[in-house]
Amino acid sequence: MAVASRKNPGAIAYLQALPMAAVFGIFFILPICLVVVVSFFDYQTYDVLIPDFVYFNYQDVFTSDVTYRTYLATLKYCIITWAITLVVGFTIAHFLAFYLRTVPVQLVCFLICTIPFWTSNIIRMISWIPFLGRNGLVNDVLLGLGLVNEPQEWLLFSEFAVILGYVHLYTLFMIVPIFNSMVRIDKALIEAAKDQGASSLQILRNVVIPLSKPGIAIGSIFVVAIVMGDFLTVTVLGGGQIPSVGKTIQTELSYLQFPPAAANAVVLLGITILMIFALIRIVDIRKEL
């Protein structure tokens, strides 16, 4: 093996990778390991972290009805959001990739879709209030058209509002990777399918969808991971009524109950990893860039 010296270019590579490795080591790997360790700690009101090896944090998680209801609710939002963002994201990506002729037009439309991502998520959640509230625009229209007799209360601070918020905020995470997969599809393949007499539905099903799978997988991973751990959208648009695992952890944290929060976080992490494990195996993400 070559000696690490100034003549060996390999040493420079390690030096160049070091800052990133250090940041992830200190602020990501170590904290995640600590979450696992702390989940076995004891705690009291004035001594929030007592090193110990106890199981009752997990017992509390697994023996409580509230836990199961919370996880089921989170899972439900996750699946509904995933289904909607997938259909909408796929459709928009398909439009961007195949319906626009020139690259500048494609670029502008793509930018229009991505710009909101660079603005504040909380503001984007709050901006639904004038629409969905008791005196909001939607109720005005419904009352005006005579479709309902009284203002609808289920529009804001409800499951509906939370899922709407997710779709509004996170469809982009589907659009970008699916679009990225679609623009790599060789147009000749589609031409060939057409020449062989395939209908547009057949082309979609047998050519476009299979070749977009990596993008679909990456987008799905993003959406699943974000929704499973979310506490912001449920806080702002759920109005305190909507259960979510992320919210539970955040509430425990606000009372400085680190060990039970950590036990919940480990369970959440386990479920999230299981959900995306299959998706990660289908695709080598590095090749997709």
Partner 1 sequence: MKVDRPPYFALMVTIFVAFVIFLYTPIFTIMLLSFQGPGGGLTFPMRGVSLHWFQDLFGPQSIGDMWGAFRRSFALGLIVMVCTVVISLTAGLAYRRGFIGSTMLLYVSIASLIMPSVVVSLGIGAGLELAGIPRHWYSSGVGAHLTWTLPFGLLIMFAVFNRFDPAYEQAARDQGASGWQTIRYVIIPIILPSLIGVALFSFTLSYDEVARSSQAIGAVNTLPLELLAMQTNATTPVIYALGTLTTGLSFLVIGITLVVFVWLRRRQQRHGSDAGNA
Of 144-203, which residues contact partner 1 (CB under 8 A)? Answer: 168, 171, 200
Binding mask of the shown chain, residues 208 to 247, with x at each position contacting partner 1 by CB under 8 A: -------------xx--xx-xxxxx--xx---------x-
Do 243 and 69 contact (CB within 8 A), yes or no?
yes
Q: Is 118 in the site for partner 1 (CB under 8 A)?
A: yes
Q: Is 62 in the site for partner 1 (CB under 8 A)?
A: no
Q: Is 135 in the site for partner 1 (CB under 8 A)?
A: yes
Q: Is 17 in the site for partner 1 (CB under 8 A)?
A: yes
CB of 130 to partner 1, least distance (A): 5
Q: Say how many C-beta atoms besides its own lie within 10 A of residue 155's C-beta.
A: 19
Stretch that binds partner 1, among 58-66, 144-152, 207-215, 268-276 (CB under 8 A): 268-276
Q: Is 255 in the site for partner 1 (CB under 8 A)?
A: no
Q: Say how many C-beta atoms besides its own lie within 10 A of residue 135's C-beta.
A: 8
Q: Which token pair is 100?
A: 């626009």
Q: How far is CA 46 from the centre of its chain?
A: 36
CB of 63 to partner 1, least distance (A): 22
CB of 135 to partner 1, least distance (A): 5
DSSP state of 230: -
CA 85, CA 171: separation in Å to the nearest integer? 5
Residue 73's contacts (CB-CB under 8 Å, 6 or more residues apart) are: 242, 243, 244
Q: How far is CA 125 from the centre of its chain?
A: 15
Q: Which token pair is 67?
A: 């836990």
CB of 65 to partner 1, least distance (A): 22
CA 82, CA 88: separation in Å to the nearest integer? 10
CA 254, CA 231: separation in Å to the nearest integer? 13
Q: Is 130 in the site for partner 1 (CB under 8 A)?
A: yes
Stretch that binds partner 1, among 25-33, 55-63, 75-83, 208-216 (CB under 8 A): 25-33
Given candidates 86, 88, 198, 211, which one binds partner 1 under the rule CB under 8 A? 88
Secondary structure of 66-114 in HEC code, one letter for each residue: HHHHHHHHHHHHHHHHHHHHHHHHHHHHHHHHHCCCCHHHHHHHHHHHH
- The site that binds partner 1 (CB under 8 A) totals a number of residues, namely 87
CB of 14 to partner 1, least distance (A): 6
Q: Is 277 in the site for partner 1 (CB under 8 A)?
A: no
CB of 181 to partner 1, least distance (A): 14
CB of 159 to partner 1, least distance (A): 19
Q: Is 133 in the site for partner 1 (CB under 8 A)?
A: yes
Single out the residue of 33, 24, 48, 18 nearest to residue 265, CA to CA.
33
